[in-house]
């Protein structure tokens, strides 16, 4: 996900045409049995889709997770079964979300870039197993052997060997040329094809290959060869384009000091546009689902679609449910019974995660940009899928609960209470909803002892950057943290929550929780995350 990992923004660096009848629908009105697509054969669900049950669940989850607005689309048996807007697109104006409200879809964009690459493969212009240097002659990795053997396929499966770095997300002035140059000195985790490490750099490189091979900028190529053929004529590829639309979802972030949510600025992308720049509505994303299932406009062969969706490398850290379960088992007391992961057999295809849920294959990808979160999940065997779009920062657990619940419905199965399982796992990580609500309350009400903050001030040895980490006291309730990761420096204000825990009140870590612990006689600074605590610095 594009910005999903310091509160799934900097955290990522530490460890992105609807039919005319749709456009005329009333705000919040569901669109039922819209048709389109062929009627598939095989093992498919035949009962009527229970939209009332879905509505009840989505609205309950929105309330529980504090999500202001949602665009949702369900495809069942190859047909667009349900498209609906829930809640508001702006908490200040209270304008409602409709089926055609555009959201930033973040890293779901990567699947469009993979699709663009496969179009070029179909044209005979790209060979997936050719070295990257075939198309980017100046490209180098820090290991000469890896430079010779890294292929286009490795870029599409995040198995190039490059560690994750999102410098371009925080510095839009960086160009693809800069990213290519930086790759030569970026650390490697192994040989190409050996290890999955999610990195926007891979997708930036893929986008640059598309540009050079096609002779068109990535956005122009994706518009002409992907969006238009799929009938996604209202989708946009930049924030400048998005702002020209009337019906758009405003991004929101936590208002730590006052409680609730507040609108925030859209994230404008530069070089990493191929990793996260698409904006679309639920109605046109439903058409995209149809295409991915082989039931929409023919753009690729079925064999090419299957190749994109085939799990090609083990990716145990990509799916949130699997990560939650693994981290909880590590942290929980031996006597605790941690719920097993909701999904198994996590792998990765061409910018698609692949997993098993209730004995069936799911193909999915999430997306995060500042103030917005998205997910698309396909059930290929059932010719079904769901799209969920939300206008709030880091709604990843909300997405996980809803997408797996809808998958249960599409499978016609009575599975586990997805949300309850996730919350039980997250309780051990102090990331469950009850703990988070208590933390937000403490951030507004806790009054520290006068010496509590002063004892933390000083210079720490950074574990994530070559420059030191510093903590200084701002006032009686606020400290300032200055740190960094791989050269990306950040400065945030923190409010105390008690017991040496603090919550960030400013970007890029807003809502993130830090804790200070004593270990081996030294003070340690860590960041609490959905994927476990991340060590940041230690007192010298």
d(CA 517, CA 514): 10
Task: Return d(Cα 49, Cα 231) in angstroms, integer.
Answer: 25
- Domain residue extents for the chain: 11-114+217-427, 442-538
Distance (Å, rounded) from C-alpha 517 to C-alpha 78? 53
- The dihedrals phi and psi of 195, each to the nearest 5 degrees, come to -140, 135
Least Cα distance to 171 among 363, 13, 348, 376 occurs for 13
CATH fold of 442-538, please?
Lipocalin (2.40.128)
For the purposes of burial, counting CB atoms within 10 Å of the CB of 381, is it exposed (0-12), middle (13-18) or buried (19 or more)? middle
Contact partners, residue 40, CB within 8 Å, separation at least 6:
77, 78, 293, 295, 383
Cβ pair 264, 253 in contact under 8 A: yes
* Token pair recorded at residue 514: 């830090």
Q: What angle do CA 103, 376, 226 make, to 5 degrees?
A: 75
Q: What percent of the chain has pLDDT over 90?
A: 74
Helix (H, G, I), strand (E, B) or coil at 510: coil
- β partners of residue 462: 537
Q: pLDDT digits over 194-203, tens only?
A: 999 999 999 9
Distance CA 516, CA 422 (A): 26
Quick check: 218 and 311 in contact, CB under 8 A? no
46: Cβ contacts below 8 Å, ≥ 6 apart: none
Buried b or exposed e, range 240-264, using 16+ CB within 10 angstroms: eebeeeebbbbbbbbbbeeeebbbb
Contact 353, 361 (CB under 8 A): no
Which alpha helices (H) appear in 245-395, and where do they start and end?
273-276, 282-292, 302-309, 320-331
DSSP 100-118: T-EEE-GGGHHHHHHHHHH
CA 396 to CA 16: how far, in whole Å?
12
Residue 7: predicted pLDDT: 39
Q: Are 159 and 192 in contact (CB under 8 A)?
A: yes
At the topology level, CATH places domain 11-114+217-427 in: Beta-lactamase (3.40.710)
Share of the chain above pLDDT 70, in %: 90
Q: How many CB atoms lie within 10 A of CB 303?
A: 7
Residue 275: strand, helix, or coil: helix
Convert the pLDDT of each residue in 53-69 to its tens digit. 999 999 999 999 999 99
Q: What's the predicted TM-score (pTM) here?
A: 0.89
508: preceding bond cis by omega (within 30 degrees): yes
User: SS3 string of 284-308?
Assistant: HHHHHHHHHCCCCCCCCCHHHHHHH
11-114+217-427 and 442-538 have identical folds: no
| Token representation of residue 54 | 């879905």
Q: What is the DSSP letter of 240?
A: H
Look at residue 232 in the predicted model and tell me its pLDDT.
96
pLDDT, tens digit (0-9, with 9 covering 90-100), for 309-367: 999 999 998 988 888 998 888 888 888 889 999 999 999 999 999 999 999 999 999 99
Contact 204, 171 (CB under 8 A): no
Alpha-carbon distance of 460 to 538, in angstroms, equals: 5
DSSP per-residue codes, 35-86 = E-S----SS---SPP-HHHHHHHHHHHHHHHT--EEEEEEEETTEEEEEEEE
Specify the pLDDT at position 524.
Answer: 93
The pLDDT of residue 1 is 42
For the chain of 540 residues, list the mean pLDDT of each consecutive stretch of 10.
Answer: 39 32 33 38 56 96 98 97 97 97 98 98 98 98 97 98 76 88 92 95 97 98 97 96 96 93 93 96 97 89 96 92 89 88 97 97 96 97 97 95 97 91 93 94 93 92 91 94 83 93 89 89 87 84
At residue 466, the pLDDT reads 87
Is 355 strand, coil or helix?
Answer: strand
């Amino acid at each position: 996900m594009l910005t999903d990992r310091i509160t799934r923004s900097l955290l990522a660096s530490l460890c992105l045409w609807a039919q005319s009848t749709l456009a005329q629908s009333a705000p919040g009105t569901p669109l039922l049995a819209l048709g389109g697509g062929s009627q598939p054969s095989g093992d498919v669900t035949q009962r009527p889709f229970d939209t009332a049950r879905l509505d009840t669940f989505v609205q309950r989850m929105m309330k529980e997770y504090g999500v202001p607005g949602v665009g949702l689309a369900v495809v069942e048996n190859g047909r667009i079964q349900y498209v609906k807007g829930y809640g508001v697109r702006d908490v200040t104006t209270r304008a409602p979300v409709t089926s055609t409200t555009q959201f930033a879809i973040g890293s779901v964009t990567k699947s469009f870039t993979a699709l663009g690459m496969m179009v070029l493969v179909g044209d005979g212009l790209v060979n997936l197993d050719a070295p990257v240097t075939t198309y980017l002659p100046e490209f180098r990795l820090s290991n000469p052997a890896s430079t010779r053997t890294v292929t286009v396929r490795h870029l599409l499966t995040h198995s190039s060997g490059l560690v994750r770095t999102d410098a371009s997300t925080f510095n839009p002035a960086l160009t693809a040329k800069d990213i290519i140059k930086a790759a030569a000195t970026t650390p490697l985790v192994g040989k190409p094809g050996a290890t999955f490490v999610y990195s926007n750099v891979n997708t930036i490189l893929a986008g640059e290959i598309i540009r050079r091979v096609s002779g068109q900028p990535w956005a122009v190529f994706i518009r002409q060869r992907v969006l238009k053929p799929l009938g996604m004529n209202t989708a946009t590829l930049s924030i400048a384009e998005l702002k020209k639309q009337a019906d758009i979802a405003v991004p929101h972030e936590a208002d730590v000091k006052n409680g609730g949510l507040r609108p925030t600025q859209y994230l404008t992308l530069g070089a990493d546009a191929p990793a996260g720049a698409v904006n679309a509505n639920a109605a046109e994303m439903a058409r995209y689902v149809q295409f991915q299932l082989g039931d929409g406009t023919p753009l690729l062969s079925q064999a090419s679609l299957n190749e994109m969706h085939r799990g090609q490398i083990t990716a145990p850290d990509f799916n949130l449910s699997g990560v939650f379960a693994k981290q909880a088992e590590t942290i929980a007391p031996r006597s605790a019974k941690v719920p097993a992961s909701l999904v198994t057999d996590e792998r990765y295809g061409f910018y698609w995660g692949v997993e098993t849920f209730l004995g069936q294959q799911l193909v999915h990808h999430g997306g995060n940009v500042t103030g917005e979160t998205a997910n698309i999940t396909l059930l290929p065997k059932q010719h079904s899928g769901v799209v969920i779009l939300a206008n709030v920062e880091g709604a990843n657990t909300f997405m996980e609960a809803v997408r797996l619940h809808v998958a249960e419905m599409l499978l016609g199965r009575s599975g586990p209470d997805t949300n309850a399982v996730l919350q039980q796992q997250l309780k051990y990580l102090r990331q469950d909803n009850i703990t988070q609500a208590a933390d937000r309350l403490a951030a507004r009400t806790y009054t520290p002892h006068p010496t509590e903050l002063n004892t933390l001030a000083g210079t720490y040895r950074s574990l994530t950057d070559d420059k030191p980490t510093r903590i200084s006291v701002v006032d009686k309730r606020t400290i300032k943290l200055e740190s960094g990761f791989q050269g990306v420096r950040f400065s945030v204000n923190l409010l105390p929550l008690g017991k040496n825990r603090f919550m960030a009140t400013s970007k890029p870590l807003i809502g993130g929780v830090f804790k200070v612990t004593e270990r081996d006689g030294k003070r340690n600074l860590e960041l609490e995350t959905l994927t476990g605590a991340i060590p940041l610095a230690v007192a010298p």
